[in-house]
Structure 1
Amino acid sequence: MKFLSIFDVIGPNMIGPSSSHTAGACSMALLACKMCPEPVRKVVFTLYGSFSKTYHGHGTDRALLGGILGFHTDDARIRDAFEWAEKMGVEYEFVIDEETKTDHPNTADMDITGVNGYRLSVRGESIGGGKIKIVRINGIDVEFTGEYSTLIVRQIDKPGVVAHITQCLSKEEVNIAFMRLFREDKGATAFTVVESDEQIPEEILAEIQKNEHVQDLMLVQM
């Protein structure tokens, strides 16, 4: 059984009105922003379920955009996110999808283009009390919360890649809280997601990158 603390019920420090539709939306977009290795130039948000119906009234649109701009849930600039996006040169678009069924009603896709052309697609869910999950990256199902320092390795699903990653982590004495492999298909694109309750040394990225089957790395520090 999962127990809720009083902080889960009340939600985080936030610009309201809703912990699920505002704070959670901001948090998932902020995490997607941190996953992009270059500043964001453009983002297309696709809103599903309740997000698609209440995004104006609950400020979900401003919260998502604020998160992409790097604002935290209690940042007063969220109220003026549209104006800040214009000042910061970030293009944005909201697409409403009321037909597609998703696993959770508070779901959004964030298709990001960086200033140098880096492309990243992230699906997030706001699961209540301001908490979120990332459940898809570039079309591949994953699952992590962003509550830990997180290393995301995109790789080809080949023998020895995961062992190489764990050896690099062990060498740097990284204490692993969770480690999971998500793959498209056998031998196809896969993601290894490593969560640690301490900061992951950035030097580890160069070591992991030495494996020929590693395609990309994202590091989100908490």
Structure 2
Amino acid sequence: MKFNSVFDIIGPVMIGPSSSHTAGAARIGKAARNLLGREPKWATIYLYESFAKTYKGHGTDFALIGGLLGFETDDSRMSKSLELAKANGMTYEFVEDTAATSHPNTVRLVIGDDQDQVELVGISIGGGKVEITELNGFELRLSGNHPALLITHNDRFGAIASVTSVLAKHEVNIGHMEVNRKDVGQEALMVIEVDQNVDDSILKELEASEYIGHISKIVS
């Protein structure tokens, strides 16, 4: 039998009003920022179903932007994030999308700057917990609650081993891993949840492999 901790029951420490619409949204926003690797200059945010209907009243709008600014769920600046983003030069747009989704608390973020762009789909499943279900066209399952590496690579033999061997050498334990590809021999994506944050020196070693493209990390 699986027992919930007290933190699962009462939810996270947060700026309210809602653990699913506020804390969860903030974590999705921060995950998108982490995957870009910096604060975005612009963001287009597509809200679906419950998120689209209640995002202003439940604080989903300022929570998503707060996450993009790098705020934690309990940051006292969270409720002022819309104004702070504009002051930082970030432009943003919220779009109420009518498309059907598998979960009512679904958001698609398209963020970027002059260098790069990230497109991410996330859902807030309750109690401040989230799942990332799509990244740049790849389907995936990422909780956002553990440190993780997202690695694009060539779909060929040896690519996965080149990554896992480096992690094993540095005693980085893998908690969950999945691989998705667009087609045989085309671009692929490794999603690796690990037990501890991965040092940048290890990332540089991973990037040195001829099979590896772009590496993003999510820190806990």
Sort the TM-score into its range (normalised by shorter chain).
Answer: over 0.9
- Shift in CA distance, 126/156, structure 1 to aligned 2, threshold 3 Å: same
Is the 1:172–1:201 Cα contact (8 Å) retained in structure 2? no
Letter paired with 1:112: I
1:84-105 CA-to-partner distances (Å, cap 9, x unmatched) read 011111111101102x121211
1:20-71 CA-to-partner distances (Å, cap 9, x unmatched) read 0111001111111111123311111000121011111111111111111111
Q: Find the counterpart in structure 2 of residue 78 from structure 1.
A: 78
Greater alpha carbon shift after TM alignment, 123-132 vs 1-10: 1-10
CA distance in 1, matches of 2:180, 2:5: 30
Report the alpha carbon displacement of residue 213 of structure 1 after superposing the two structures with TM: 2.9
Report the alpha carbon displacement of residue 144 of structure 1 after superposing the two structures with TM: 1.0
Report the alpha carbon displacement of residue 204 of structure 1 after superposing the two structures with TM: 1.7
Is the 1:165–1:208 Cα contact (8 Å) retained in structure 2? yes
Q: Find the counterpart in structure 1 of residue 100 from structure 2.
A: 101
Counterparts of 1:1-222 in structure 2, within 5 Å, are 3-98=3-98, 100-114=99-113, 116-222=114-220
SS in 2 for 1:44: strand
CA distance in 2, matches of 1:168, 1:68: 31
Letter paired with 2:39: P
Report the alpha carbon displacement of residue 3 of structure 1 after superposing the two structures with TM: 4.3
Report the alpha carbon displacement of residue 199 of structure 1 after superposing the two structures with TM: 2.1
CA distance in 2, matches of 1:106, 1:196: 26
SS in 1 for 2:200: coil
What's the TM-score once normalised by structure 2's chain length? 0.94
Letter paired with 1:164: S
What's the TM-score once normalised by structure 1's chain length? 0.94
CA distance in 1, matches of 2:199, 2:126: 31
CA distance in 1, matches of 2:117, 2:155: 21
CA distance in 2, matches of 1:214, 1:17: 42
Report the alpha carbon displacement of residue 2 of structure 1 after superposing the two structures with TM: 5.3
1:96-148 CA-to-partner distances (Å, cap 9, x unmatched) read 102x121211010110113x421111111100100001111001101111222
SS in 2 for 1:173: coil
Aligned length: 220
**CA RMSD, 1 decimal:** 1.4
CA distance in 1, matches of 2:79, 2:193: 32
SS in 1 for 2:20: helix
Is the 1:23–1:130 Cα contact (8 Å) retained in structure 2? yes
Is the 1:11–1:129 Cα contact (8 Å) retained in structure 2? yes
Report the alpha carbon displacement of residue 184 of structure 1 after superposing the two structures with TM: 2.1
Gaps of 5+ in 1: none
CA distance in 2, matches of 1:134, 1:2: 23
SS in 1 for 2:78: helix
SS in 2 for 1:123: strand
CA distance in 2, matches of 1:37, 1:45: 18
CA distance in 2, matches of 1:38, 1:63: 17
CA distance in 2, matches of 1:130, 1:198: 21
Give me the identity figure in percent. 42
